[in-house]
């Protein structure tokens, strides 16, 4: 969190325009304290009172606006414990803004640092809650304001860093700031003036995840989900998601689909995007003539449909559904866990040390291992890699003890190393890996899991956040071997709030590689892992989906040679 050094306790020398205005509510249940609300100006040495009549101007599309501070003064000598602070925008204010409560909760975020004389107590994002009456409330964790040392008095401060995404219209949002404890409440008005930047950014409805046993929803080779014909150059097919293949007819916000391109006549790429929307510049699959390439895609669903576009030549497209996100609140929430290697048949990690033979299976225990809870896990996200295959084949990952589906997750040729992200339901705490032909080594790296707690998914993309070929994301050259680059994925320019997001869903593509190698993608606060997300040979273009923690950007590590990297954001995970 970026906090101006002059804001907070002991901000000596700061001028407050308009005088000191401590405010306390006239109430029978009065907390024995006063509130003083102030906000920074363009001059960090000058602050102004923050009130309903003097709202804080919040610039849209700006990652870090200036800060506001709630000073807590005039407490009893012993201080107060068990306090909770909150900020509420009334239902009337929400309605008058022209935005829905859900839209405002995705557009405005706030990170707060709570301090008293003893120093920092907490620094975290306060998530919005949409109340039953349509109002919005963000709330702090429980905290205390206590004296520290003989002769000291109890004084506290809550320093709030606001941030706002893009929007088409400005809005006045009168608000109420409260501090509540066992003895009562003290409150003061503090409005926000959201100043839109005139830009529209696609942000879908937050959803929880419903895993399904992989089901084939599209196959242009056999008229499943679309006419029986390859997709031509600049051609598109539209796939009905809602109301088909066991997916509900309503409430579906995004779908998780394993898309495979095969029988391509030319080098090309495929873009999967929301139906009826403008086609983005991002791509999901890149392939050469004759190559079979799968990739996991998470895409917003609009009007119950998605669209798949092929750039050049003709290609057959296959789509297997692994799950969907729903606004009904009946699904599971995501928790990051990794990247951690949980299976490697080359070294007896998770399963016996031996290649998986033709028509054979291995079963992996995931629940109760590697940070995954022993119970309550509905689905797991793994980056699965097939390597050292003796013949061409495919791998299917599916719930333990269930009938094996006809869908596949990885397709490979002899000697090829192919990774693909997999989201698979967990049954009896386990998942099963099936190899169709020859023998192959299998590797699985854990990215996270779904359960009753964790984060919801907000679909936003696809949006290009990194392209080292043209400087997008601040990277202006291929990534050198043994080096890593940090990209500020958590930024409004990518549709991701600069704080409050727990993870991001990306499609990462490696291209122009000078030698065989691999790339690892991981959170900005994580150490470089031993696991990989993409494996490639010299000159090969390889895409793969990645779900990684976010906060402090995202790291991209290249193991060897030089390689260009491209990353497209599909959406982000957040607490509410």
Give the Cα separation of 318 and 252 in Å (integer): 21
Q: What is the pLDDT of residue 461?
A: 75
| C-alpha count within 13 angstroms, C-beta hemisphere, residue 106 | 24
Which regions of the chain carry the CATH code 2.60.120? 201-331, 333-451
Do residues 397 and 369 lie in contact, with contact meaning Cβ atoms separated by under 8 Å?
Answer: no
Do residues 573 and 313 lie in contact, with contact meaning Cβ atoms separated by under 8 Å?
Answer: no
Fold of 333-451: Jelly Rolls (2.60.120)
Those residues with Cβ within 8 angstroms of residue 191's Cβ, 6 or more apart along the chain or in another chain: 51, 52, 53, 54, 55, 56, 172, 173, 174, 175
Partners of residue 319 on adjacent β-strands: 218, 259
Q: What is the pLDDT of residue 22?
A: 42
Which pLDDT tens digits describe the chain residue by residue (576 residues)?
444 333 343 343 444 444 434 444 444 488 999 999 999 988 878 899 999 899 999 999 999 998 999 999 998 988 999 999 999 999 999 999 999 998 999 999 999 999 998 899 999 999 999 999 999 999 999 999 988 777 677 789 999 999 999 999 999 999 999 999 999 999 999 999 999 999 886 677 899 999 998 899 999 999 999 999 999 999 999 999 999 999 999 999 999 999 999 999 999 999 999 999 999 888 899 999 998 999 999 999 999 999 999 999 999 999 999 999 999 989 999 999 989 999 999 999 999 999 999 999 999 999 999 999 999 999 999 999 999 999 999 999 999 999 999 888 998 989 989 999 999 999 999 999 999 989 999 999 999 999 999 999 999 878 999 999 999 999 999 999 999 999 999 999 999 999 999 999 999 999 999 999 999 999 999 999 989 999 999 998 999 999 999 989 999 999 999 999 999 999 999 988
Give the Cα separation of 33 and 235 in Å (integer): 67
Residue 381: other Cβ atoms inside 10 A: 28
Q: CATH class for domain 201-331? A: mainly beta
Output the CATH code of domain 15-195. 2.60.40.3880
Do residues 249 and 275 lie in contact, with contact meaning Cβ atoms separated by under 8 Å?
Answer: no
Which contiguous run of DSSP H or E holds residue 133? none
Residue 551: other Cβ atoms inside 10 A: 19
Model's pTM, two decimal places?
0.90
Handedness of CA 395, 401, 403, 405 (dihedral sign): negative
Do residues 204 and 253 lie in contact, with contact meaning Cβ atoms separated by under 8 Å?
Answer: yes
Those residues with Cβ within 8 angstroms of residue 417's Cβ, 6 or more apart along the chain or in another chain: 385, 386, 387, 388, 535
Q: What is the pLDDT of residue 202?
A: 66
Do residues 442 and 432 lie in contact, with contact meaning Cβ atoms separated by under 8 Å?
Answer: no
Dihedral over alpha carbons 368, 369, 371, 375 (to 10 degrees): -20
Which regions of the chain carry the CATH code 2.60.40.3880? 15-195
Three state DSSP letters for 13-82: CCEECCCCCCECCCCCCECCCEEEEEEECCCCCEEEECCCCCCEEEECCECCCCEEEEEEECCCCCCEEE
Give the Cα separation of 332 and 309 in Å (integer): 30
Q: What is the pLDDT of residue 29?
A: 82
């Amino acid at each position: 969190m970026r906090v101006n050094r002059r804001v907070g306790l002991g901000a000596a020398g700061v001028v407050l325009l308009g005088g000191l205005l401590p405010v306390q509510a006239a109430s029978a249940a009065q907390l024995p304290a006063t509130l003083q609300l102030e906000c920074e100006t363009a001059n960090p040495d000058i602050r102004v009172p923050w009130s309903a009549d003097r709202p804080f101007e919040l610039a849209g599309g700006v990652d870090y606006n200036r800060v506001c501070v709630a000073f807590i003064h005039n407490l009893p000598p012993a201080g107060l414990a068990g306090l909770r602070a909150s900020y509420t925008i009334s239902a009337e204010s929400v309605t008058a803004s022209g935005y829905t409560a859900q839209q405002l909760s995705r557009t405005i975020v706030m990170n707060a640092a709570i301090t008293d004389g003893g120093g920092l107590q907490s620094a975290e994002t306060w998530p919005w809650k949409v109340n039953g009456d349509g109002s919005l409330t963000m709330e702090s964790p429980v905290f205390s304001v206590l004296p520290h040392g003989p002769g000291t008095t109890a004084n506290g401060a809550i320093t709030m860093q606001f941030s706002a995404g893009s929007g088409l219209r400005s809005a006045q949002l009168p608000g109420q700031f409260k501090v509540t404890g066992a003895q009562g409440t003290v409150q003061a008005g503090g409005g926000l003036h959201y100043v839109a930047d005139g830009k529209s950014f696609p942000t879908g409805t937050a959803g929880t995840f419903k895993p399904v046993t992989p089901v084939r929803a599209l196959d242009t080779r056999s008229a499943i989900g679309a006419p029986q014909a390859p997709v031509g150059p600049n051609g598109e097919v539209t796939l009905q998601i809602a109301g088909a293949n066991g997916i509900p007819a309503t409430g579906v916000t995004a779908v998780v689909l394993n898309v495979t391109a095969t029988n391509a006549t030319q080098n090309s790429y495929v873009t999967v995007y929301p139906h009826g929307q403008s086609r983005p510049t991002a791509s999901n699959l890149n392939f050469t003539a004759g190559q079979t390439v799968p990739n996991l895609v998470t895409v917003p669903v609009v009007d119950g449909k998605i669209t798949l576009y092929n750039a050049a030549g003709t290609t057959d497209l296959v789509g297997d559904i692994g799950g969907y996100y729903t606004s009904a609140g009946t699904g599971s929430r995501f928790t990051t866990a990794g990247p951690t290697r949980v299976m490697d048949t080359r070294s007896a990690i998770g399963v016996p040390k031996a290649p998986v033979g033709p028509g054979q299976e291995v079963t992996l225990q995931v629940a109760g291992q590697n940070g995954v809870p022993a119970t309550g896990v509905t689905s797991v996200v793994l980056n699965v890699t097939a390597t050292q295959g003796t013949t061409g084949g495919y791998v299917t990952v599916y719930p333990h003890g269930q009938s094996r589906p006809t869908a596949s997750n990885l397709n490979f040729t002899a000697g090829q190393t192919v990774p693909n992200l997999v989201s698979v339901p967990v049954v009896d705490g386990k998942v099963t890996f099936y190899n169709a032909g020859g023998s192959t080594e299998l590797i699985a790296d854990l990215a996270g899991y779904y359960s009753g707690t964790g984060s919801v998914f907000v679909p936003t993309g696809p949006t290009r956040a990194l392209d080292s070929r043209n400087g997008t994301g601040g990277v202006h050259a291929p990534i050198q071997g043994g080096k890593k680059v940090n990209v500020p994925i958590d930024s409004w320019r990518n549709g991701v709030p600069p704080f409050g997001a727990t993870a991001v869903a990306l499609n990462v593509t490696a291209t122009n590689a000078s030698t065989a190698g691999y790339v690892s993608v991981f959170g900005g606060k994580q150490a470089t892992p031993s696991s990989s997300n993409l494996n490639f040979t010299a000159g090969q273009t390889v895409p793969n989906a990645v779900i990684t923690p976010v906060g402090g950007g995202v790291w991209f590590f290249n193991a060897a040679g030089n390689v260009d990297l491209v990353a497209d954001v599909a959406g982000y995970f957040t607490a509410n």
